[in-house]
Amino acid sequence: MKRALRDGTMMRSAEGARVIQDAAGRVEARPTTGWATLGTVSLGYLLVSWGMAPISAILPTISDDLGIDVSAAGWVMNSYFLLLVGTLLIAGRVGDLFGHRRVFACGIVVFGLASGVAGLTASLEALIVTRAIQGLGASMVFGTSLALVAEAVPNARRGLAIGILTMSSGLASLAGVVFSAYAVEHLTWHWAFFVPVPLAAVALLIAWRLPVGQRTGSVAQIDWQGGILLFAGLTALMLSLAHFHEGEQSFEQGAHYHLPMHVLAAGLLALFAWVETRVPQPLLQLGMLREGRFASGVLANGIAHMSMLASSFLLPFLLERGHGLVPSDTARLMLAMQACMLVCSLGAGWLYDRARTPVLGWLTMGSIAGGLVTLGLVGASLPYAALVGIAALLGAGLGGFTTVNNTAVMSGAPAGKRGFASGMVETTRQLGHSVGVSMSSSIMAGALAGVAVADLPLAYALGFEQAALVMGLMATVGLVATVLPHLSGRRAPAARPAPTGRTVAT
Compute the radius of gyration of the chain from its Cα atoms.
23
Residue 364: DSSP 8-state: H
CA distance from start to end of the chain: 15
Least confident of 62-76, 226-240, 266-280, 405-419: 62-76
Calpha distance 274→176 (Å, rounded): 42
Q: Where are the alpha helices (DSSP H) in 281-379?
A: 286-289, 292-317, 327-355, 359-378
Calpha distance 262→239 (Å, rounded): 9
Task: Give yes or no for residue 363 having a pLDDT over 90.
Answer: yes
285 contacts 368 by C-beta, under 8 angstroms = no
Per CATH, 1-220 and 285-495 having the same topology is answered yes
Scored b (16 or more CB within 10 A) or e, 428-463 reads bbbbbbbbbbbbbbbbbbbbbeeeeeeeebebbbbb
Q: Is 44 helix (H, G, I), strand (E, B) or coil?
A: helix
Total-model pTM: 0.76
Per-residue model confidence (pLDDT) at position 72 = 67
What tens digit of pLDDT does each residue of 451-469 get?
A: 776 777 888 888 888 888 9
Per-residue model confidence (pLDDT) at position 480 = 92
Per-residue model confidence (pLDDT) at position 215 = 54
Per-residue model confidence (pLDDT) at position 4 = 40
Residue 498: DSSP 8-state: P
Percent of the chain whose predicted confidence (pLDDT) is above 90: 8
What tens digit of pLDDT does each residue of 197-238 get?
A: 888 888 888 877 766 555 555 555 677 777 788 888 877 887
338 contacts 178 by C-beta, under 8 angstroms = no
414 contacts 495 by C-beta, under 8 angstroms = yes
Per-residue model confidence (pLDDT) at position 366 = 92
475 contacts 365 by C-beta, under 8 angstroms = yes
373 contacts 473 by C-beta, under 8 angstroms = yes
* pLDDT (average), residues 289-293: 79
**Residue extents of the structural domains in the chain:** 1-220, 223-282, 285-495
Task: Give yes or no for residue 183 having a pLDDT over 50.
Answer: yes
Instruction: Give which of 217, 267, 264, 206 is closest to 240, Cα–Cα.
Output: 264
* pLDDT (average), residues 40-61: 76
Instruction: Give which of 385, 398, 382, 380 is closest to 338, Cα–Cα.
Output: 398
Torsion of CA 317, 321, 323, 326, to 10 degrees: 90
What tens digit of pLDDT does each residue of 306-332 get?
A: 887 777 777 887 887 788 887 777 778
User: Which residues, including other chains, have CB under 8 Å from residue 478's CB and lie 6 or more apart?
Assistant: 299, 300, 303, 304, 307, 365, 368, 369
Q: Is 69 helix (H, G, I), strand (E, B) or coil?
A: coil
Per-residue model confidence (pLDDT) at position 365 = 92
CA 419 from centre of chain: 15
280 contacts 223 by C-beta, under 8 angstroms = no
CA-to-CA separations, 364 to 204, 360, 396, 397, in angstroms, rounded? 35, 6, 8, 4
| Other residues' Cβ atoms within 10 Å of the Cβ of residue 103 | 26
User: Which residues, including other chains, have CB under 8 Å from residue 281's CB and lie 6 or more apart?
Assistant: 217, 221, 222, 223
Mean pLDDT of the chain: 77
Task: Give yes or no for residue 15 having a pLDDT over 70.
Answer: no
Superfamily for the 285-495 domain: MFS general substrate transporter like domains (1.20.1250.20)
CA 215 from centre of chain: 27
Calpha distance 405→411 (Å, rounded): 10
3-state DSSP helix/strand/coil percent for the chain, to nearest 5?
Answer: 80, 5, 20
Least confident of 14-23, 109-118, 316-325: 14-23
Per-residue model confidence (pLDDT) at position 469 = 92
Least confident of 84-88, 134-138, 250-254: 250-254
Per-residue model confidence (pLDDT) at position 170 = 76
Per-residue model confidence (pLDDT) at position 151 = 77
C-alpha count within 13 angstroms, C-beta hemisphere, residue 456: 9
Determine which helix (DSSP H) or strand (DSSP E) holds 12, and give its type and residue range.
Answer: strand 8-12
The architecture in CATH of the region 1-220 reads Up-down Bundle (1.20)
Per-residue model confidence (pLDDT) at position 386 = 92
Per-residue model confidence (pLDDT) at position 323 = 81
Instruction: Give which of 105, 118, 106, 117 is closest to 77, Cα–Cα.
Output: 118
- Sheet with 8-12: list strands edge to edge: 8-12, 18-22, 27-29, 503-504
Least confident of 26-40, 47-61, 247-261: 26-40
Confidence of residue 367 (pLDDT cuts 50, 70, 90): very high
Determine which helix (DSSP H) or strand (DSSP E) holds 27, and give its type and residue range.
Answer: strand 27-29
Confidence of residue 6 (pLDDT cuts 50, 70, 90): very low
Burial class (CB in 10 A: 0-12, 13-18, 19+), 290: exposed
Calpha distance 194→69 (Å, rounded): 24
* pLDDT (average), residues 3-20: 40
CA 380 from centre of chain: 29
Residue 9: DSSP 8-state: E
Q: Report the DSSP pairing between strands 27-29 and 18-22.
A: antiparallel
* φ, ψ of residue 493 in degrees (nearest 5): -65, 135
* φ, ψ of residue 357 in degrees (nearest 5): -125, 140
- Comparing 96 with 351, the larger pLDDT belongs to 351
| Other residues' Cβ atoms within 10 Å of the Cβ of residue 226 | 23
Q: Report the DSSP pairing between strands 8-12 and 503-504.
A: unpaired
Calpha distance 337→319 (Å, rounded): 15
* pLDDT (average), residues 465-484: 90
Confidence of residue 22 (pLDDT cuts 50, 70, 90): very low
Per-range mean pLDDT, top range of 116-125, 274-283, 436-445: 116-125
104 contacts 156 by C-beta, under 8 angstroms = no
240 contacts 261 by C-beta, under 8 angstroms = yes
Calpha distance 483→239 (Å, rounded): 33
Sign of the torsion angle spanned by Cα atoms 396, 399, 402, 406: negative
